[in-house]
Amino acid sequence: MRKLIYLLLLAVVVPFTQSCNSSSDSAKDSFLATLRSDGSKFGFMCILDNMKTAEVTDLKGTYKHTDGDRVMIYGNLNRNTGASGYNYTVDIHKIAKIITDDVKTVSTPEEDVYGNDGIKVSRAWVSGGYLNLEFSVNLNTLMSANCVISLVNNVINENKNDGSNNYFELELRNKSNLNMEENYSVAHGMACFRLGEFNPEREGLSGIKLTYTELGSKDGSKKASTFAKIELPEY
């Protein structure tokens, strides 16, 4: 079981774990979406982060989906002028799965198993009920599984998380088996976290205040950044 968990969460450090093989060069649109099974020819529809729906009209290559997959889509998105009930149609040139997880709550020191190793947040935003992150971490080049990224609600630190400061306060954690005396390299990745009760869009708040240990920090110092929810285009 431990091996399975490591293999699943290692994929967080690699942006895309499954994709169809067609080139995305001719795609005019790229966007995050959540897939829902619909019994159609391709087996799924797309829910965009602005909550609009898209019917898949073409898929170059193959993609074995699971209901609820969080994906990056490269393709051509068009307004639907038919009577199918979808807001858009989409011809998919490339689809790539992004590993997704829930917020973990820590209420006792014994439950805090998520690490405090360094991480660099390149970009983060709240949309569609998710905190979406682009990040970098150090990885041991000699090990196949050595990094676990988690989003934590740390009750031990007495964060109220009642929205009184207009932000939900969460911690981004990195648990690494890295020994800095060994060979390592910087890896870049993307992850999406389902916010659930910590979704500022649902609660009318401004966003997420995220605390994490900076990559390259010598003393384990923390950095606090705020990430706002964004208004998504109509396409």
In order, the DSSP letters of 134-171 are EEEEEEETT-S--EEEEEEEETTTT---SSTTSEEEEE
- Domain ranges across the chain: 18-98, 100-228
Reference 73, options 38, 41, 97; nearest CA is: 97
What is the model's pLDDT at position 152? 95
Specify whether the CB–CB gap between 59 and 26 falls below 8 A: no
Select 100-228's CATH number: 3.30.1600.10, 2.60.40.2370, 3.40.640.10, 2.40.160.10. 2.60.40.2370
The CATH H-level superfamily of 18-98 is NigD-like N-terminal OB domain (2.40.50.500)
The token duo for 106 is: 């820590």
Kindly report the average pLDDT of the chain as a whole number.
Answer: 81
pLDDT more than 90, % of the chain: 47
- Length, in residues, of the chain: 235
Kindly calculate the radius of gyration of the chain based on its CA atoms and give it in whole angstroms.
Answer: 19
For the record, the structure tokens of 39 come out as 């019994």
Q: What are phi and psi of 150, to 5 degrees?
A: -140, 150
Structure tokens, 196 = 């659930």
Output the pLDDT for position 102.
96
List, for residues 122-177, the tens digit of each pLDDT value: 999 999 999 999 999 888 766 555 678 999 999 887 665 666 678 899 999 998 86
Residues 35, 219: contact at Cβ < 8 Å?
no
Closest C-alpha to 187, from 132, 146, 129, 130: 146
